[in-house]
Structure 1
Amino acid sequence: MGLPTLPAEIFDEIIHVIAHDWDHGPFAVVEDQEYGSDMSWFLKRFDYVVMDQFLMAAKGLNLILYKGLLSMEPVGSALAMVERLLRLLANSCLQNTTRRNRRYISANAIAVGTKAAVNSLAQPGSQDGEDPDTIRRMYFDALVAINMVHMRLRLRNLLQEDYSEEGVLEEKKQESSTVLALAAAAYLGRIDHMERLIAMGADIQGNPSNEWTCPPVMAAALGGQVKTLEHISRCRIDLAGQTDPNGNGALHFAAMGGHTETVKYLIKAGAEPDSQNKSSERPINWAVGAGQLHIFRQLLTRQGARKIGEWSPELLFIRAAKGGHGHIVAELSKRLSKTVLECILVDAMENGSTQVLRTLVESMSDTRPKININYQGSFGRTPLTFAAFFGDIRLVALLLARRDVKKAHIDEEGHTPLIVAARNDNLGALCLLLADPEATADMWRQNIFGQTMLSFAARWGHLNIVERLLDPALGVPKEVVGRAIQLAVRELPGPEGVHTLNTDRIRDGVMLMKDYAAKRGWLLESSSFSSEREEDDNDDPS
């Protein structure tokens, strides 16, 4: 599932309610027994990776298990969602309808810069198309493109707020507003507009000390405007030496934009391909993150193949994989050693990045793999276990199609991929596993806490999973059904308990299992139907 198509009001709720008030991110909420099932019906309609990338990064959470999702290039679908959200917020700022009077710096920058461009450049009634609506559309889109650079670096920049009394991008301040409009003009290659804005007081150097106002040099490089860069150079601006507050040079922006001629021009002007920003990122990192294979090759060729070892190839690979840039992944795979690829596998497993895992599997030969596809990470979990956990159907299918994958692997807690898929309500992954004879070799086994995949599904109200597992063809044993009913009944609230949406699903699951048992004439122990919530040392604390 890609970017969901939903009304602006729902995205508004995502921004103002979920992203700000959610303390644990979507995975934690879905797994929380008190609140999880009430929210899962909503979250299941989204790509988990999209929501996890956006919400957790926006909130700036520091969860150990998912920390890797915050450190690398966001996945493409997350960026698509963020761009849509950014446009919605910027439009709200432009129309002065921002909810709760929050001042989001990036969205406000787009609105302020667009208004400044309309006020300074629009010529109502003119014959050359420079009417207010045309200017508004041009400059709004340009400023969105410029501000998306911030989002690529840190998704939570979308929700960065300005708490100062007046605001660093106060639209009444001529300096801030015209600098924003000037950057957009440079991005668009409108030298005529730049000259008019400079005549009105805009500084051709921009405001390099403010990370929210992109200097014209960087904007022109991002837009691939060589003639604009030549014009700026004639104004005695050092194209090679100027950087933004984060240490990014014009070459970083040109690489991200994918502009071969601009890269060539900047290198000729003295820009260093090996230059690093404050995060130790080189222009090639930005090219890879944006999927610019031709720029990757251009920079690598210029520096020599030996440079690949100095440029953290494992980070380049992860960045390309998360961005969905398979063409760059294929190029890197030819150059990376087994040791580096195994490091990437470990990082992807520990940080829950199924997209990186999927890319690794796709790049490996079934007969001559470079790495151990059954590598065991934390708690003895393999790539297939992680794929089942996150419900990545494509990855599950890829792994099941391989002859060298251990499909019924048991981790340190006694979980097989089947149990993990049922536990996490991942029906698609579960169905794929159930269709594989090797994966179902011991399907009704218990984990070390005495839980089966049916008891997990029943306890957590995963009604679709319960229905699937009660398929007569699967032959669920009598004792498995009895134990699942017993554990599920304990999750139901007592007379004083709180009735939730999940309560109905658990009760419906119990009824399904009782009907299944009744049709087979099974007499289950009365304790199986007890509503008491007694303690059980064998119950799974997770």
Structure 2
Amino acid sequence: MGNFKSRPNVSCADELKKKISESYSLFRSRAIEDLRPIEKDWTEIQLVCGKGEYNEVVELITEKNKHEKTDGGLTLLHIVGIYGGSRTLIKFLLEKGLKPDALSRRQFTALHLAAYRGDAECVQCLLESPDTDVNLAGNSGLTALHIAAMCGFQEIAEVLIDNGAKINMQDAVNFTPLHIACNFGNDKVVSLLVSHRADVNAAGGVGDRPLHLACSRGHLQVTKLLVEAPQQPAEVNVKDDEEHYPIHFCCKSGHLNVLSYLLDKQALPHVCNIYGDTPLHLACYSGKVEIVKHLISVTGCESLSKENIFSETPLHSACTSGRSLELIKYLLEHPNVNINYQGKDGHTALHSACYHGHIRVVQFLLECGADMNLVACAEMSGGVDKKEEQTPLMWAYEQGHDTIVTLLKHHKRPQDESACGDYSQPGGEGSYVSVPSPLGKLKSMTREKIDVLQLRSSLPRYFQLQITDLDFQEPIGSGSFGKVYKGKYLGKTVAIKRYRASSFGCKSDVDMFCREVAILSKLNSSYVISFVGASLDDPSNFAIVTQFVAGGSLFSILHEQKRVIDLQSKLTVATDVAKGMAYLHNLPQPIIHRDLNSHNILLDENGHAVVADFGESRFLLSEEDNMTKQPGNLRWMAPEIFTQCTKYSIKADVFSFSLCIWELLSGELPFAHLKPAAAAAEMAYHTTRPPIAVTFPKPIVALLQRCWNASADDRPEFKEIVPILEECKQSQVAALLNNSTVPSLKEEEEGEEDGQTSPPIAGNVMALRTHWEQEASKNSSVPIDELRRRLQFPQVDKNGYVSDPLSTLGISVTIEQTKKLLESAINQSQS
């Protein structure tokens, strides 16, 4: 029997489909980026190819320039295809030896882009070349046929099939072109693929068939094409890996027309998935009233009494979702539906509504006669043989739903006039149901309350503070837990992390609070946040007090204040963070942070950094410990955590650290153009990493590549990272590149007027900058004064980030030029 309280909100199939949807959205955005190239940096031959000028291309093309590529990796053939060039021009370029299978930086061939554009003529012309591989997989493992199926281009799909496209080839998530056409509802392409004997029962990444996708999306015509396929009809009752039938998906999504069709085709109406959910359960969880009515009217009431593994009937399910009072009313009209029915674990529909905080549902159930004194049996922390009985009120109390607790305490029924609860006074009005006392009776004590009591007994007294001793000042941050304030304690400025008043009833918040206090109390390093104490006495006043770090978070400095940080300071921050993480990882009982990102790196007024926020951290008992899935911020998350692995190590922190270093050096968010989940998916499933700039020191580049290695075992430990950073920080190249040693133009002019000479290092840096300006003036029409102004006041891009100082010169500087200039400056300093 499953535990109702641990029921996942979505199934594994739902999670995968969400990631697949994000993957296809990312695919589309990348294709559009390739189809909208930036022309300002193009060469002359690239520009005339874009215009489709055949005669000019013939005149300009040479053996040297015919293989030129744009910054995005687009060849001349890509460019002609993007702009719909003539067949004559495409054939000419193919005859000149251009490879049609060359991939752009975003993993597209000219054939992929032509198929995405719907340019049938260009596709046909490219396929006439014997060098064109019609089945070449590009971005996300998609072939040209997959792309045509996604976009609904029947003519192009037919041309591709006629030229040898494999009709059942699978992409990165094991989807065939038929899967994709069904998902996007392109019935003409589906009809074409079915007529060419595509496998209508091919299994995707979690065993999902094309019919599952069509029913989930509500594509009736596509569903009919699959079920009525003449050669090989789709199985109406086929199951995926979680034993979902197509009828499960259409009921969950609320597609009445598809449901009627499936039932006419002998779909089984009362089948269960591995969670014990019937189609009626899923319709109730989703609040689909019309689906429920149709199912019961056509197939009978058999499913009304079925429980899933979480001890929930359809009535429980409707109350769990709380989406429709009309649905709950309809279910209660049936004579075989009992409002007080208790599942195998004893919980009623009222328990479900209370647990999820649906106050309108709770009110309605009470008015309909729901018994608030019935109890569910929950396992206590002492072992499987120990049970505690919990009323609906206790479930609401546990989850912090104060309004429901109040409603239940004061709800009065006529038959209960003589009843007297724990809070009622003789002869007065009060509660008519047993409720837990504010301190929590042993009988109703939850595991979270036990954790708090254990923390109180183990935490040294000097760490246990009174909330009245804290002087709260202005708020400086907030989160799902509550707010962070600047404040005073015993005359010292501190940071106070104040938890919400309802946190005592919320398991995740209490876990985080207890774990963070337990960890902070064990730490003693100048590179991690210092613990002052915690307020533990009153659940409504939970608070964690730490040192106040005046500089704020690295995230705020980089992306909100948009401050320019010189390289030497960046390396100081990186080194401090590495030392802090090395300290955590090498304690007798190691600590894995699990949420290392720029929000949790704080800087003091001297530019030194400390690691903070240990709410997601935990003590690591062994390398084989089972870990929580996906803790922390997705944008900085290690691939092994994002992919649902529950056995990961301290090397996950190393990956997050590498993204922080990249962010520090570049001044930009990792994958800023993507949402956090899409960024994590890109790193995990496509092994994509942020781009390396020319200005990054070489030792740091090598370190980054090791730290964000896809294999956790191949990443270095922090005790190895620290000396690398310290050596880089102390190197002369780092000192030369350090912007803080470059005097402003005003300071230089004042120094010259006063007859002062610059210190040796400043003089060499000035010489280096002058050399840069001379090189720039040779290759740019920008006046020298304007170049100096750009160096002194870097530009800000459209996203509000400070641009690379070198890019503000408006010139292209090669690595070899950089090397020569640095060597020149070093030689001058030595002489």
Indicate the residue corresponding to 1:39 in structure 2.
none
Cα deviation, residue 68, structure 1: 1.8
Quick check: 1:188–1:223 contact (8 Å CA) kept in 2? no
Indicate the residue corresponding to 1:343 in structure 2.
238
Aligned AA (1:69): D
Cα deviation, residue 116, structure 1: 2.3
Q: Does 1:334 align with 2:237?
A: no
Indicate the residue corresponding to 1:167 in structure 2.
none
Quick check: 1:485–1:510 contact (8 Å CA) kept in 2? no
Q: Does 1:453 align with 2:359?
A: no
Q: 2:313 aligns with which of 416, 428, 433?
A: 416
Indicate the residue corresponding to 1:444 in structure 2.
340
271 and 203 in structure 1: CA distance in 2 versus 1, 3 angstrom threshold: same
Cα deviation, residue 296, structure 1: 1.8
* 1:95-142 C-alpha deviation (Å, 9 max, x unpaired): xxxxxxxxxx986786577452454499xxxxxxx9xxxxxxxxxxxx
After TM superposition, list the pairs within 5 Å mapping 1:188-207 onto structure 2.
Answer: 189-191=84-86, 205=100, 207=102
536 and 453 in structure 1: CA distance in 2 versus 1, 3 angstrom threshold: farther
Indicate the residue corresponding to 1:325 in structure 2.
219
Indicate the residue corresponding to 1:225 in structure 2.
119
Aligned AA (2:148): A
Query: C-alpha separation between the residues in 2 aligned to 1:191 and 1:68?
Result: 45
Cα deviation, residue 235, structure 1: 6.0
Query: C-alpha separation between the residues in 1 aligned to 2:106 and 2:346?
Result: 55
Q: 1:69 aligns with which of 8, 14, 17?
A: 14
Quick check: 2:107–2:138 contact (8 Å CA) kept in 1? no
Indicate the residue corresponding to 1:267 in structure 2.
161
Aligned AA (2:300): D
476 and 522 in structure 1: CA distance in 2 versus 1, 3 angstrom threshold: farther
Cα deviation, residue 221, structure 1: 1.8
352 and 31 in structure 1: CA distance in 2 versus 1, 3 angstrom threshold: farther
Indicate the residue corresponding to 1:249 in structure 2.
143
* 1:194-235 C-alpha deviation (Å, 9 max, x unpaired): 97xx89x99653633x68331111111232212212443466
Q: Does 1:116 align with 2:21?
A: no
354 and 323 in structure 1: CA distance in 2 versus 1, 3 angstrom threshold: closer
Indicate the residue corresponding to 2:330 in structure 1.
435
Aligned AA (2:14): L
Query: C-alpha separation between the residues in 1 aligned to 2:85 and 2:215?
Result: 35
Aligned AA (1:512): L
> SS at 1:530's partner residue?
coil
> SS at 2:298's partner residue?
coil
Quick check: 2:394–2:436 contact (8 Å CA) kept in 1? yes
After TM superposition, list the pairs within 5 Å mapping 1:280-299 onto structure 2.
Answer: 281-299=175-193
Q: Does 1:469 align with 2:365?
A: yes
Q: Which has the higher mean CA deviation after the structures are superposed, 228-237 or 454-463?
A: 228-237
Aligned AA (1:340): E
After TM superposition, list the pairs within 5 Å mapping 1:360-399 onto structure 2.
Answer: 362-364=258-260, 370-378=266-274, 380-393=276-289, 395-399=291-295
Q: 1:240 aligns with which of 134, 146, 157?
A: 134
Query: C-alpha separation between the residues in 2 aligned to 1:70 and 1:112?
Result: 29
Quick check: 1:178–1:202 contact (8 Å CA) kept in 2? no
Quick check: 1:204–1:232 contact (8 Å CA) kept in 2? no
Quick check: 1:240–1:266 contact (8 Å CA) kept in 2? yes
Aligned AA (2:359): L
Indicate the residue corresponding to 1:95 in structure 2.
none
Indicate the residue corresponding to 1:529 in structure 2.
435
Query: C-alpha separation between the residues in 2 aligned to 1:262 and 1:338?
Result: 25
Query: C-alpha separation between the residues in 2 aligned to 1:212 and 1:480?
Result: 60
Cα deviation, residue 374, structure 1: 1.4
Indicate the residue corresponding to 2:407 in structure 1.
512
Quick check: 1:457–1:463 contact (8 Å CA) kept in 2? yes
Query: C-alpha separation between the residues in 2 aligned to 1:453 and 1:215?
Result: 56
Quick check: 1:425–1:465 contact (8 Å CA) kept in 2? no
Quick check: 2:351–2:392 contact (8 Å CA) kept in 1? yes
Quick check: 1:240–1:270 contact (8 Å CA) kept in 2? yes
Q: Does 1:488 align with 2:393?
A: yes
Indicate the residue corresponding to 1:40 in structure 2.
none
435 and 193 in structure 1: CA distance in 2 versus 1, 3 angstrom threshold: farther
Quick check: 1:361–1:399 contact (8 Å CA) kept in 2? no
Query: C-alpha separation between the residues in 2 aligned to 1:263 and 1:383?
Result: 35
> SS at 2:108's partner residue?
coil
Quick check: 1:376–1:382 contact (8 Å CA) kept in 2? yes
120 and 354 in structure 1: CA distance in 2 versus 1, 3 angstrom threshold: same
Quick check: 2:170–2:177 contact (8 Å CA) kept in 1? yes
Query: C-alpha separation between the residues in 1 aligned to 2:148 and 2:233?
Result: 32
* 1:269-314 C-alpha deviation (Å, 9 max, x unpaired): 343435555766543333323322112222322349xx65678997
Indicate the residue corresponding to 1:496 in structure 2.
none
464 and 448 in structure 1: CA distance in 2 versus 1, 3 angstrom threshold: same
Cα deviation, residue 517, structure 1: 0.7
Indicate the residue corresponding to 1:146 in structure 2.
none
* 1:302-328 C-alpha deviation (Å, 9 max, x unpaired): 349xx6567899711012223432211
> SS at 1:529's partner residue?
coil
Task: Mark the structure with the bigger radius of gyration.
Answer: 2
Q: Which has the higher mean CA deviation after the structures are superposed, 277-286 or 360-369?
A: 360-369
Aligned AA (1:529): V
* 1:55-91 C-alpha deviation (Å, 9 max, x unpaired): xxxxxxxxxxx2223555979xx66x985xx6xxxxx
Quick check: 1:276–1:283 contact (8 Å CA) kept in 2? yes
Query: C-alpha separation between the residues in 2 aligned to 1:31 and 1:182?
Result: 58
343 and 523 in structure 1: CA distance in 2 versus 1, 3 angstrom threshold: farther
340 and 377 in structure 1: CA distance in 2 versus 1, 3 angstrom threshold: same
Indicate the residue corresponding to 1:3 in structure 2.
none
> SS at 1:177's partner residue?
coil
Equivalent pairs, count:
395
Query: C-alpha separation between the residues in 1 aligned to 2:262 and 2:74?
Result: 55
Quick check: 2:146–2:180 contact (8 Å CA) kept in 1? yes
109 and 276 in structure 1: CA distance in 2 versus 1, 3 angstrom threshold: closer
* 1:347-397 C-alpha deviation (Å, 9 max, x unpaired): 464999644755598344698661331123446432212332344445434
Query: C-alpha separation between the residues in 2 aligned to 1:470 and 1:202?
Result: 79
Cα deviation, residue 242, structure 1: 4.1
388 and 339 in structure 1: CA distance in 2 versus 1, 3 angstrom threshold: same
> SS at 2:72's partner residue?
helix
Query: C-alpha separation between the residues in 2 aligned to 1:447 and 1:229?
Result: 60
Aligned AA (1:373): P
Indicate the residue corresponding to 2:659 in structure 1.
none
515 and 376 in structure 1: CA distance in 2 versus 1, 3 angstrom threshold: same
Aligned AA (1:223): R
Percent of pairs with identical residues:
16
433 and 480 in structure 1: CA distance in 2 versus 1, 3 angstrom threshold: same
Query: C-alpha separation between the residues in 2 aligned to 1:380 and 1:69?
Result: 16
Please, what TM-score do these two structures have when normalized by structure 2?
0.39
Aligned AA (2:113): A
After TM superposition, list the pairs within 5 Å mapping 1:121-136 onto structure 2.
Answer: none
Cα deviation, residue 332, structure 1: 1.9
> SS at 1:526's partner residue?
coil
> SS at 2:417's partner residue?
coil
108 and 365 in structure 1: CA distance in 2 versus 1, 3 angstrom threshold: closer
Query: C-alpha separation between the residues in 2 aligned to 1:240 and 1:469?
Result: 61
